[in-house]
């Protein structure tokens, strides 16, 4: 029975969805620095993904690969697991980070929006787990899902998004039971880390952001590195933790 590989031997492999930019890219850098080989997934950000892979491969040749797929496309998703395994012929960690995020006020919510948010945030993670569970079982690996502290708090005008993230949280707990004892499954729930890219600068927006920060006991935004280090901990060090969700939110969920 093969045990989890020490990443410092240059063999362990992590696959991160939505890893070309922002938090996903920081997770890729963090795992790479820890000795993992990295498979970066992207969809529309291929230029950014290739630039990140080039940067990491300059540090350690042959250590990083890129796969591209639309996670909301059933055909593209069905072949993604094989594409990932073809990069390094093994897998130790699956990080389901990719996510669509935008408001869906109830009066204007559409079926297309619902499907996009559910597919990118929940369905993709489930079917990637299905495709990659045998490889992860071989390496005694793990799955880490990126959820959101607002699943339990609720978000006005974001019902479809929070429902999709809630589904991902439920999947985390169920797969932790189903894939034990060979594969651990956990989640990380970021709080306020980066402002959404669709945010428009304005006095009202500045006031809203200041209000959010005032409600964080630690008094500041988190950083992508805060999330990446937590994901690495769950993958590499937390060998007796499964089915759990770690909030990385500066205490915001306290109330």
Q: Is residue 249 part of a domain?
A: yes
Higher pLDDT, 240 or 204: 240
In this structure, what token pair is assigned to residue 161? 């998004």
Q: In the prediction, which pLDDT does 201 show?
A: 58
- With bands split at pLDDT 50, 70 and 90, how would you rate the model's confidence at 198? low
Indicate if the pLDDT at residue 134 is higher than 70: yes
User: Which residues lie closer than 8 Å to 90 by C-beta, 6 or more apart?
Assistant: 11, 13, 135, 138, 139
Q: Is residue 1 part of a domain?
A: no
Q: In the prediction, which pLDDT does 27 show?
A: 98
Question: For residue 103, what is the enclosing H or E element?
Answer: none
Mean pLDDT of 57-66: 97
Q: How many percent of the chain have pLDDT more than 90?
A: 80
Catalytic position from the list 36, 102, 161, 240: 161
Q: Is residue 14 part of a domain?
A: yes
- With bands split at pLDDT 50, 70 and 90, how would you rate the model's confidence at 202? low
Please spell the DSSP secondary structure of 142-193, one letter per residue: EEEEE--THHHH--TT-HHHHHHHHHHHHHHHHHHHHHTTT-EEEEEEE-S-
Q: Is residue 18 part of a domain?
A: yes
- With bands split at pLDDT 50, 70 and 90, how would you rate the model's confidence at 4? low
Cβ count near 29 (within 10 Å):
19
| pTM for this entry | 0.93
Q: Is residue 2 part of a domain?
A: no
CATH of residue 103: 3.40.50.720
- With bands split at pLDDT 50, 70 and 90, how would you rate the model's confidence at 118? very high
Mean pLDDT of 200-226: 79
Asked if 101 and 151 touch (Cβ cutoff 8 Å), the reply is no
Mean pLDDT of 60-79: 97
Q: In the prediction, which pLDDT does 211 show?
A: 76
Look at the chain and report how many structural domains it folds into.
Answer: 1
- Residue 152: domain span: 7-254
Q: Is residue 207 part of a domain?
A: yes
Mean pLDDT of 86-104: 96
Indicate if the pLDDT at residue 203 is higher than 90: no
Residue located via tokens 């034990």? 180
Q: What is the pLDDT of residues 9-42, one digit of tens each?
A: 769 999 999 999 999 999 999 999 999 999 999 9
- With bands split at pLDDT 50, 70 and 90, how would you rate the model's confidence at 2? very low
- With bands split at pLDDT 50, 70 and 90, how would you rate the model's confidence at 206? low
Q: Is residue 72 part of a domain?
A: yes
Check if 161 is active-site. yes
Higher pLDDT, 91 or 219: 91
Q: Is residue 130 part of a domain?
A: yes
Q: What is the pLDDT of residues 161-194, one digit of tens each?
A: 999 999 999 999 999 999 999 999 999 999 888 8
Q: In the prediction, which pLDDT does 1 show?
A: 40
């Amino acid at each position: 029975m093969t045990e989890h590989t020490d990443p410092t031997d240059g063999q362990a492999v992590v696959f991160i969805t939505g890893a070309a930019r922002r938090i996903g890219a920081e997770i890729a850098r963090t795992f790479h620095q820890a000795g993992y080989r990295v498979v970066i997934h992207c969809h529309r950000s291929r230029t950014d993904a290739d630039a990140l892979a080039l940067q990491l491969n300059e540090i350690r040749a042959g250590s990083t690969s890129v796969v591209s797929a639309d996670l909301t496309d059933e055909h593209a998703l069905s072949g993604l697991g094989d594409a990932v395994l073809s990069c390094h012929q093994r897998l130790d960690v699956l990080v389901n980070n990719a996510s669509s995020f935008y408001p869906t006020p109830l009066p204007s919510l559409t079926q297309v929006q619902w499907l996009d948010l559910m597919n990118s945030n929940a369905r993709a993670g489930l079917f990637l787990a299905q495709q990659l569970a045998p490889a992860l079982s071989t390496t005694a690996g793990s799955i880490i899902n990126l959820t959101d502290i607002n699943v339990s708090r609720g978000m006005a005008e974001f019902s479809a998004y929070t429902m999709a993230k809630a589904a991902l949280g439920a999947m985390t707990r169920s797969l932790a039971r189903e894939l034990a004892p060979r594969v651990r499954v956990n989640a990380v729930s970021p709080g306020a880390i980066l402002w959404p890219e669709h945010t428009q600068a304005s006095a009202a927006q500045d006031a809203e952001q200041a209000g959010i920060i005032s409600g964080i006991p630690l008094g500041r935004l988190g950083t992508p590195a805060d999330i990446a280090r937590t994901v690495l901990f769950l993958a590499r060090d937390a060998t007796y933790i499964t089915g759990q969700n770690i909030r990385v939110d500066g205490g915001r969920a306290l109330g």
